[in-house]
Amino acid sequence: DDIKNGVDFVLEINKPDGLSFSAMCIDATFGKPDDKLERVRREIDNGQLAEVRYFHRQKNDGQPAFHGRLSQIPRVILSLDLPSLIDLSGLMENSISDNKEKAKIAKRDLASHPVQILFLRQIKEQLEVYTDYAKHSPKEKAGSVVAPLEGLRQIMEKILDDKLRTGKFIGARLN
């Protein structure tokens, strides 16, 4: 879905009932995000958030839970400088290494990497700005996306607070 819909990843956030989830589209970049941010503004003005055509969600046991289209999903743009991207790429590669010790060290380093906080803050701040923009937009349709944006902002604020307090993510998974 990256080329047509501008979605590199979907972040799933499990809800306490274990059956449902919230989702967020992530568009990653290490360049200037101006065009990507303009796309988000247009989506909000039109009352149409991001769409993912080919989404697959699995249960914890690996069985399919959902296959199909997601729509009205808030989009955020995550930006990272090139040296940090290279560092993370190396850690990701090592985390799936056949060398179990190398993989273990890389997974530990990923679990505590400071970029996690950077990304969480970027997400939270963007959702705050998007929600405020939707509330005050002169475009009539923008008001229809306030609830999903605000709901996701509250969830991400809690995840950030939990991460800062405990050092762990609770209930989030990338797809």
Model confidence pLDDT, tens digit, residues 139-172: 989 999 999 999 999 999 988 998 888 876 655 5
Helical pair 82-95 and 100-111, crossing angle rounded to 10 deg: 140
CB count within 10 Å of CB 120 equals 21
CB count within 10 Å of CB 167 equals 10
Whether pLDDT at 94 is above 70: yes
Q: What span, in angstroms and rounded, lies between the C-alpha atoms of 143 and 44?
A: 8
Q: What span, in angstroms and rounded, lies between the C-alpha atoms of 106 and 94?
A: 6
Mean pLDDT, residues 110-135: 92
Q: How far is CA 163 from the centre of its chain?
A: 15
User: Could you tell me the CA-to-CA distances from 31 to 36, 80, 127, 163, 173 in Å, in that order?
Assistant: 10, 8, 20, 27, 25
CA geometry: angle 161, 164, 169, nearest 5 deg? 80
Model confidence pLDDT, tens digit, residues 8-45: 888 878 776 665 678 888 998 887 888 899 999 999 99
Q: What span, in angstroms and rounded, lies between the C-alpha atoms of 107 and 63?
A: 24
